[in-house]
Amino acid sequence: MRALLPKDLLRQRTVFVSGGGSGVNLAIAKACAQVGANLVLCGRTETKLKDAVEELTALGAEAVYAIADVRDATAVKAAFEMAEERFGAVDAVVCGAAGNFLAPAERISSNGFRAVVDIDLLGSFHCAHAAYEQLRRTRGTILFVSGGQSQMPFAHQAHVAAAKAGVDQLMRSLALEWGPHGIRSNSIVPGPVSGTEGMRRLAETVTEQVWAGMVPLGRFAVPEEIAQIAVVLLSPLAAYVNGSQVVVDGGMATVGSAA
* Residues 68-107, mask of contacts with ligand HXC (x by CB under 6 A): ------------------------------xxxx-x----
Where do runs of H (alpha helix) occur along the chain? 23-34, 46-58, 73-87, 110-117, 123-138, 158-178, 197-202, 208-213, 223-234
- Determine phi and psi for 66, rounding to 5 degrees: -130, 135
Side-chain-side CA neighbours of 99 within 13 Å: the count stands at: 22
219 binding ligand HXC? (CB under 6 A)? no
Contacting ligand HXC within 130-169 (CB under 6 A): 147-148, 160
Residue 16, classed as helix, strand or coil, is strand
> Residues binding ligand HXC: what is the number (CB under 6 A)?
19
**How does DSSP classify residue 258?**
B
Q: Is 7 a catalytic residue?
A: no
21 binding ligand HXC? (CB under 6 A)? no
| Interface residue with ligand HXC, options 73, 115, 206, 246 (CB under 6 A) | 115
Asked if 190 and 100 touch (Cβ cutoff 8 Å), the reply is: no
Q: Residue with the closest Cβ to ligand HXC? A: 99
Residue 198, classed as helix, strand or coil, is helix
Least distance (Å) between residue 53 CB and ligand HXC: 19
Distance CA 124, CA 138 (A): 20
139 versus 200: smaller Cβ distance to ligand HXC = 200
Least distance (Å) between residue 121 CB and ligand HXC: 12
- By the criterion CB under 6 A, which residues form the site for ligand HXC? 98-101, 103, 109, 111-112, 115-116, 119, 147-148, 160, 192, 197-198, 201-202
